[in-house]
Each structure stands twice: as structure tokens, then as C-alpha cells.
């Protein structure tokens, strides 16, 4: 068998398949076959620091995002009354019912607007302050928002409530734009899928936690609703305590900051164990490959104008926006009314809504295992295809719900089935797919645009769904079904498989736009 020495100028992942089976690398003076190296790289390389960062950022940054989404629904009537009484006491105004509804729509939607703005600013902030720096900024925004929520009732200030919602929206947008990128950049190749879904898991879990703490049996009362809005601050405070110890992204340091020594130092902190040297060498080779590519596009407008980045940008934005337009938020925003239409009482509908949130969370916990074992393309196609069928079934069953006694139960089954299959692919994959098809230089812009697409479509669904439901009835779910079908087709024809591949290997596969041939 022929022996071959690889050097920095010929990284391991640049060798073709035949060479990888025939040639050898030298690691610490020991000859190890590249096939064995490949097997080592496929095994998870956990370290205490890596586990700490994954745990702390998920609970301290991602969970508050979901918490601020889920906490606002249950105490809505109580907060509306407080807003009416506060405005009357301070300004002598008497808002009409439509005026109160408009004010409440502002309280809900200003959070989504803040999310869109925070996402848009995430691209520049991620390259200017670093991935870790952005997470610290978002933690500060969450803290300031919680303070405003806690004291708004005592201060009798509706303005503080609105400002708090805007600020936590900014923090949430920044988090969803930067956190998946940060986690996938600090994780070794074998764990990128696992770490990529942590943000999705945190947001999903945060929604359920927010729903629980806003129940009338806990903080959902006239005297305690402000505790419900601000309770997430405990998670932020605890999980950000070791933030000074968090590493900066080695890829950001190596490629964007051009600080190669510090990048190597952070890699040594992250990679521990007997195979650490091999893992570090692979990461350095990967970063060298990205630095040696012809185009290192990083500014916002240059990324948008680069024709080689058009298709991957469309994929990322379509996945993020399609995730929101797939109907998941419509079901969770208005699931109580849907369950009531299916024949449940108000109390039973509220418990069914909580049950749907718990199912969503439980299936989300399968994400790390699924992403480490299964390829992205088939998982996304399976999830989007099945969800399309379930959404069509929901529209059909709701339209004919009065014609059969079994249809109400069938409607609930379809909703739960949709939630289950949504979390297998549609839920987690859009959060991190940008990190797997974009190289480091344009990645922050792509992730920012994807997050912006997500928040914008979330806002559209929240504002338009009630009107469309009144106009179209059960058929309002058909556009959601069509969206899932379009995502299925986009994945089938244009998304290359990214699992186990370096972004420098994936990026050329989509560089020819819609003429690209995926593999």
C-alpha cells in the first residue's frame, strides 16, 4: 500500500475517495490511515467546555426567546384590563373595545418587529462584536426587558410594557440569527447537527415554559402577571454567570478576525481527549480551505449581489420563512379556538393546547439524535411532505366537522400528527442549515437574512390569520399545505446533502444557482 504524507497545503478533506482509502497521514509521529481518521472524526468529541456552552446558551438565550412568545397569551385579558385602567388613570382616556384590541395587537406585534430588526442587525454585529459578543448583548437586552416587565405594573406605565416587548424582541432576533451559527462553529464535525438543533429545542421548550408559568394557578393572575412576563430572568442570570469562560468561535477568529493563534488556543480549549490533535488538525485544514477559496464575500450587499450565493441564500430564507408559513404558529396562536371548534370545552381546549405544546417539546428532544444519525435531505422531505398532507386533512376535516361525530377526534389527531412530523425536520433544520451550506465569511449575512425571513413571516401569520380565517374558514390551512409542498420540492431539487460535509465542500454544489446539480 502506498504511503503518503499530507501537509497543510493538502488538507485531508481535499483528497478524493480513492486517495482517502489508499493514503496515510502522520499524527503525532504515528501513521494512521485516512480511513481510520475519518472514522475518528465521525465519533462525537465532547468536552466539558463544549457541553457547558451548549447547555448554558440553550437555556440562557434560546429558552427566553420561546418564553416571550408563549407567555403572553394566557394573561392577555388581564393585561388588557390593566392597560385600560392605567391609561384612564394617567391620561383620563376611555379606550373603546376596538382601541384596546389595537393596543393589544401592538403589544404582541412589537415583539415580532423587534425580532425582525434584531435579525437584520445580526449580520453586522456578528462580525463586529463576534459570535460570543452578540450573545452577551442579547443577554443584556433580555435582562433590560425583564426589568421593564417587572416594574411596569408598579409604575403604572403601559409604555414600559411596550418598550420591554420591543427590547426582548431585539434580543430574540439577535439570538436566532447568531446562536445557531455560534454553536455549529464551535462544535466538531460529528456534533454540528446535534448542536445545530439546540436553538430550536430551546425556543420550543421556552414556549411551553412560558405557557406553564402564565397559567392562572401560577403567575397568571391579576396581581402576578408581571412576574410571569419577567420570570425568565432567572434562567438568564444563572446561565450567563460563566459567560466570561465561554470561547469565541474559532472560525470567526481564524477567518474573519485573522487571529490564527487565538483561534488555535480556543480550539485546544474546546477539543479534549485522545483524538483532540486529529480533530484540531481537521478544523484547521477546514478553515484553511475556506480562506483559500476565490471569493471571501462578507459585507451585506456584496453577499446579496453575489450570483454564486443566490441559491443558498434562497434556500436559507425559504426554509426559515417556510417554517413559519407552514402553519405551526397559526396552530399555536389559535389552537384553543380550533380545539373548541372541534368540540372541546374552553377548559379542555386550554389543556389540549398545553398538551400540543408538550408534544412539540418532547419530539424536539429527538432532534440531536436524529441530526447525528440521519441525512438532512430525506428528513426534510419526509417532514415537509407528511406535514403538507396533515394540513390538507385538517382543512378537509374542519370543513366537514359537523357531518360526522368522529371528525372532531380526527381533527385533534391531525393537529397532533402535524406537530409530531413538523419537529422531525421542518422545526429544527432551518435553524442551522445556513451554517452547513455557507462558508464563514458570508455566513453571518445568510443567517441574519434567514432569521429576518422567519420573524417577518411570523408577523404576517400572526396579523393575517384571523382575517383569512374569517374569510376562508377551514380552507385557510390550504396555503400552509402548499408551502410545505413547495419546501419539499425545493429540498428535492436544490438542497445538497450537508451531513458530514464541510461547508467548503457543499458551497460549490450550489454555486451555479438553479442550474446546480445537487448530490
Q: Is residue 188 within 8 Å of 279, Cβ to Cβ? A: yes
The predicted structure's pLDDT at residue 426: 92
The residue with cell 428532544 is 365
For the cut 50, the answer to whether the pLDDT of residue 440 exceeds it is yes
Cα 195 to Cα 387: distance, rounded to the nearest angstrom: 24
Between 336 and 80, the more confident residue is 80
How large is the average pLDDT for residues 143-165?
95
β-sheet bridge partners, residue 26: 31
Domain positions in the chain are 12-42+251-291, 45-243, 295-519
The predicted structure's pLDDT at residue 374: 87
For the cut 50, the answer to whether the pLDDT of residue 30 exceeds it is no
CATH fold for domain 45-243: Growth Hormone; Chain: A; (1.20.1250)
For the cut 70, the answer to whether the pLDDT of residue 216 exceeds it is yes
Q: Is residue 270 within 8 Å of 49, Cβ to Cβ? A: yes
The predicted structure's pLDDT at residue 333: 65
The predicted structure's pLDDT at residue 297: 57
For the cut 90, the answer to whether the pLDDT of residue 461 exceeds it is no
The percentage of residues in the chain with a pLDDT greater than 70, rounded to a whole number, is 89
With both helix axes pointing from N to C terminus, report the angle between 198-213 and 63-70 in degrees, rounded to the nearest 10. Answer: 40
pTM: 0.81
The predicted structure's pLDDT at residue 322: 94
The predicted structure's pLDDT at residue 34: 43
For the cut 70, the answer to whether the pLDDT of residue 378 exceeds it is yes
How large is the average pLDDT for residues 128-155?
95
For the cut 90, the answer to whether the pLDDT of residue 52 exceeds it is yes
Alpha-carbon Rg for the chain, nearest whole angstrom, is: 24
SS3 of 188-206: the string is CHHHHHHHHCHHHHHHHHH
The predicted structure's pLDDT at residue 13: 39
The predicted structure's pLDDT at residue 114: 93
The residue with cell 435579525 is 119
How large is the average pLDDT for residues 378-385?
95
Cβ-based burial of 18 (10 A; exposed 0-12, middle 13-18, buried ≥19): exposed
273: left (phi over 0), alpha (psi -120 to 50) or beta: left
514 confidence band (pLDDT: 50, 70, 90): confident
Q: Is residue 436 within 8 Å of 185, Cβ to Cβ? A: no
Assign domain 295-519 to its CATH architecture.
Up-down Bundle (1.20)
Q: Same CATH fold, 295-519 and 45-243?
A: yes
Q: Tell me if residue 258 falls in helix, strand or coil.
A: coil
**Across the chain, which distance is largest between two alpha carbons, in Å?**
89
| Run of H or E residues at 230 | helix 225-230
Mean pLDDT taken over the chain: 83
SS3 of 113-165: the string is HHHHHHHHHHHHHHHHCHHHHHHHHHHHHHHHHHHHHHHHHHHCCHHHHHHHH
The predicted structure's pLDDT at residue 94: 84
With both helix axes pointing from N to C terminus, report the angle between 440-472 and 429-437 in degrees, rounded to the nearest 10. Answer: 150
Cα 445 to Cα 447: distance, rounded to the nearest angstrom: 6
For the cut 70, the answer to whether the pLDDT of residue 135 exceeds it is yes
With both helix axes pointing from N to C terminus, report the angle between 478-494 and 376-399 in degrees, rounded to the nearest 10. Answer: 160
9 confidence band (pLDDT: 50, 70, 90): very low
Cβ-based burial of 25 (10 A; exposed 0-12, middle 13-18, buried ≥19): buried
Which of 80-94, 218-232, 274-288 has the least mean pLDDT?
274-288
For the cut 80, the answer to whether the pLDDT of residue 182 exceeds it is yes
How far apart, in Å, are the Cα atoms of 375 and each of 285, 307, 456?
A: 24, 27, 29
The predicted structure's pLDDT at residue 57: 94
For the cut 90, the answer to whether the pLDDT of residue 150 exceeds it is yes
φ/ψ of residue 27, rounded to 5: -125, 115
Amino acid at each position: 500500500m502506498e504511503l503518503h504524507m499530507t501537509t497543510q497545503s493538502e488538507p485531508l478533506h481535499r483528497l478524493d475517495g480513492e486517495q482517502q482509502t489508499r493514503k496515510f497521514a502522520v499524527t503525532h509521529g504515528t501513521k494512521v490511515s485516512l480511513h481510520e481518521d475519518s472514522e475518528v472524526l465521525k465519533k462525537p468529541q465532547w468536552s466539558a467546555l463544549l457541553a457547558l456552552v451548549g447547555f448554558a446558551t440553550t437555556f440562557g438565550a434560546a429558552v427566553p426567546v420561546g418564553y416571550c412568545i408563549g407567555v403572553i397569551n394566557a394573561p392577555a385579558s388581564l393585561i388588557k384590563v390593566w392597560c385600560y385602567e392605567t391609561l384612564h388613570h394617567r391620561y383620563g382616556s376611555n379606550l373603546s373595545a376596538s382601541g384596546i384590541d389595537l393596543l393589544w395587537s401592538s403589544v404582541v406585534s412589537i415583539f415580532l418587529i423587534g425580532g425582525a430588526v434584531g435579525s437584520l442587525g445580526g449580520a453586522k454585529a456578528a462580525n463586529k462584536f463576534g459570535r460570543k459578543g452578540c450573545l452577551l448583548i442579547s443577554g443584556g437586552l433580555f435582562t433590560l426587558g425583564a426589568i421593564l416587565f417587572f416594574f411596569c405594573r408598579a409604575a403604572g406605565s403601559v409604555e414600559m410594557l411596550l418598550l420591554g416587548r420591543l427590547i426582548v424582541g431585539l434580543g430574540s432576533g439577535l439570538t436566532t440569527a447568531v446562536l445557531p451559527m455560534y454553536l455549529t462553529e464551535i462544535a466538531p464535525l460529528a456534533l454540528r447537527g446535534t448542536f445545530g438543533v439546540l436553538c430550536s429545542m430551546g425556543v420550543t421548550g421556552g414556549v411551553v415554559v412560558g405557557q406553564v408559568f402564565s397559567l392562572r394557578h401560577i403567575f397568571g393572575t391579576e396581581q402576578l402577571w408581571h412576574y410571569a412576563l419577567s420570570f425568565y430572568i432567572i434562567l438568564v442570570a444563572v446561565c450567563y454567570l460563566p459567560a466570561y469562560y465561554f470561547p469565541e468561535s474559532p472560525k470567526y477568529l481564524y477567518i474573519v478576525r485573522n487571529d490564527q493563534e487565538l483561534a488555535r488556543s480556543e480550539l485546544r480549549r474546546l477539543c479534549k481527549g485522545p483524538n483532540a490533535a486529529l480533530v484540531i488538525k481537521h478544523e484547521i485544514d477546514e478553515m484553511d480551505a475556506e480562506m483559500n477559496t476565490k471569493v471571501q464575500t462578507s459585507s451585506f450587499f456584496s453577499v446579496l449581489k453575489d450570483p454564486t450565493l443566490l441559491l443558498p441564500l434562497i434556500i436559507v430564507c425559504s426554509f426559515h420563512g417556510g417554517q413559519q408559513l407552514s402553519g405551526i404558529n397559526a396552530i399555536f396562536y389559535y389552537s384553543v379556538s380550533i380545539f373548541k371548534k372541534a368540540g372541546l370545552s374552553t377548559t379542555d381546549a386550554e389543556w389540549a393546547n398545553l398538551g400540543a405544546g408538550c408534544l412539540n417539546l418532547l419530539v424536539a428532544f429527538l432532534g440531536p439524535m436524529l441530526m447525528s444519525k440521519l441525512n438532512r435531505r430525506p428528513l426534510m422531505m419526509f417532514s415537509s411532505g407528511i406535514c403538507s398532507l396533515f394540513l390538507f386533512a385538517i382543512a378537509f376535516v374542519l370543513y366537514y366537522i359537523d357531518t360526522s361525530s368522529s371528525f372532531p377526534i380526527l381533527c385533534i389527531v391531525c393537529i397532533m400528527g402535524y406537530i409530531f412530523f413538523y419537529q422531525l425536520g421542518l422545526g429544527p433544520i432551518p435553524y442551522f442549515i445556513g451554517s452547513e451550506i455557507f462558508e464563514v465569511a458570508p455566513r453571518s449575512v445568510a443567517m441574519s437574512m434567514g432569521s429576518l425571513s422567519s420573524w417577518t413571516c411570523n408577523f404576517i401569520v400572526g396579523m393575517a390569520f384571523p382575517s383569512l380565517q374569517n374569510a376562508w374558514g377551514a380552507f385557510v390551512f390550504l396555503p400552509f399545505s402548499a408551502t410545505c409542498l413547495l419546501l419539499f420540492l425545493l429540498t428535492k431539487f436544490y438542497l445538497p446533502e450537508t451531513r458530514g460535509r464541510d461547508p467548503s465542500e457543499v458551497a460549490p454544489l450550489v454555486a451555479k444557482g438553479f442550474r446546480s446539480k445537487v448530490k
